Amino acid sequence: MILRGLLLFIVTIFAWEAAAEEITLKKLIESAFTENPALHSMEQKIRSTEESAEADSSFSDPMIGLSQMNGDKRITNWSIGQKFEFPQKYSLKKDIQETKSRFFTQEREQLKLDLRAQIITTYYSIYAIQKIKSLTNEDFGKIREFSRIAESKYAAGTGPMQDSMKAHLAQTEVEVSLISLNQEEDVLQSVMRSLLNKPASFRVQTAKEEISVPNISLADLAALKIETQKSPKLVEKQLQIEEAGYRHSLAKWQYAPDFQLKYQGRISGDPKDARTVSLEMSVPLWFGGKAAGEKSTYLMKQSKESDLENTILILTSQIETQKSKVKNQSELLSIFKTSLIPQAITSFESSMDAYKANNVTFLSLLDSERSLLKVQIAYYRTLTQYIESLTKLESALGYSVSKLGMLEDL
């Protein structure tokens, strides 16, 4: 039963690796920026507002009419008229749409930052899981070696039968662990496919060797802060204030009159050459509605200014939180690499030699082997948390500090 389960795992793992595609982080980000539907949607919003800027600042269509006057003689006239809003209104309407276009451009940049953060975090999570699976498979080989030694000792009468049974139990536990790890990787691969807009057959195979871990000095980390012009979220809020200001100005200009120019010519009737040119002007008489509109836009501008202040507070809190996490997790990674993992390896190797020499029990050997695997897994779990904290910090800042998978146009 155990052998059949092991063969099933090996076949499944090989099938997955055959379907997986080894691809660099930069290529994944490039693919997402090309294929992600949310980015496509944002591009269309930008183009839509650019077209709206031209549409809103254009003249309305002219009016053409016919009129007939009946009396002693029937007179038929034709006319053409064009309405003109006060010139400043056209300019302000165009400014509003252009500001919205710039707003959506900043929203796109923030979306790219967030998408990049998700891809990097998912990529490193897949990398960590694949490393943990590799370590777990190696662990399976070690336990098989334990089992062989235990059986040899039992046959020689120098070890109890329970050692061999414990080794088989440990093998089963490893198989159960691999099932959970495979399920966890399936979820991560699904997330990556959704980010890249890829088919169900697409799987990411990370590099088999150790990939680089971005290291930020404590001094550089402490110096990181909000930079108003680099943060798309803050620029978005500033553009919303600017748009609200234009709308408030437009509301004020509603008190200004609009004009209509009209030309009328004769079709039939006397005198034949009668022509009429008229200029009409609207009278902004109903001040109540205009005053309410002006006040509404003023209050909206104040609301957007408060939104900016609140966003600064939220981002500042997020940045300080993520800076603390990055600092602590970076220190943990260093401890794992320089102390815990080397010590666990030494302890396991010492226990292995001692067990072969009948100086320690099988449980001691198994415990040292479990401790080594636990420390190695903890390192990769911490690495995933570190990358997630780092990319969240970059999204809050509005720019990259790690340069992970960096693109020139990001």
59 pLDDT more than 80? yes
Among the residue ranges 110-124, 224-238, 261-275, 313-327, the one predicted with the least confidence is 261-275
Q: How far apart are the C-alpha atoms of 115 and 105, rounded to whole Å?
A: 15
Residue with token string 């004020």 = 252
Residues 6+ apart with CB under 8 A from 300: 244, 247, 248
Between 316 and 1, the more confident residue is 316
Torsion of CA 386, 389, 392, 397, to 10 degrees: -100
313 pLDDT more than 80? yes
Confidence label for 162 from pLDDT (cuts 50, 70 and 90): confident
Confidence label for 357 from pLDDT (cuts 50, 70 and 90): confident
Per DSSP, the chain holds a count of helices (H) and strands (E) of 10, 6
265 pLDDT more than 50? yes
Peptide bond before residue 199 is cis, with ω within 30 degrees of 0: no
155 pLDDT more than 80? no
Q: Are 318 and 396 a contacting pair, CB within 8 Å? A: yes
Confidence label for 16 from pLDDT (cuts 50, 70 and 90): very low
Residue-wise pLDDT for 18-53, tens only, equals 445 567 888 999 999 999 999 999 999 999 988 888
214 pLDDT more than 90? no
Residue-wise pLDDT for 375-391, tens only, equals 999 999 999 999 999 99
Residue percentage of the chain with pLDDT more than 70: 92
144 pLDDT more than 90? no
Residue-wise pLDDT for 65-78, tens only, equals 988 887 777 888 89
Confidence label for 406 from pLDDT (cuts 50, 70 and 90): low
Note the pLDDT of residue 21: 56
pLDDT, mean of residues 95-123: 94
Q: Hey, what domains does the chain have and what are their CATH numbers?
A: 2-397 (1.20.1600.10)
369 pLDDT more than 60? yes
* Average pLDDT of the chain, as a whole number: 87
pTM: 0.81
Note the pLDDT of residue 10: 46
Q: Long-range contacts for 235-240 (Cβ within 8 Å, ≥24 apart)?
A: 235/106, 236/103, 236/106, 236/107, 236/110, 237/304, 237/307, 237/308, 237/311, 238/308, 239/99, 239/100, 239/102, 239/103, 239/106, 240/103, 240/304, 240/307, 240/308
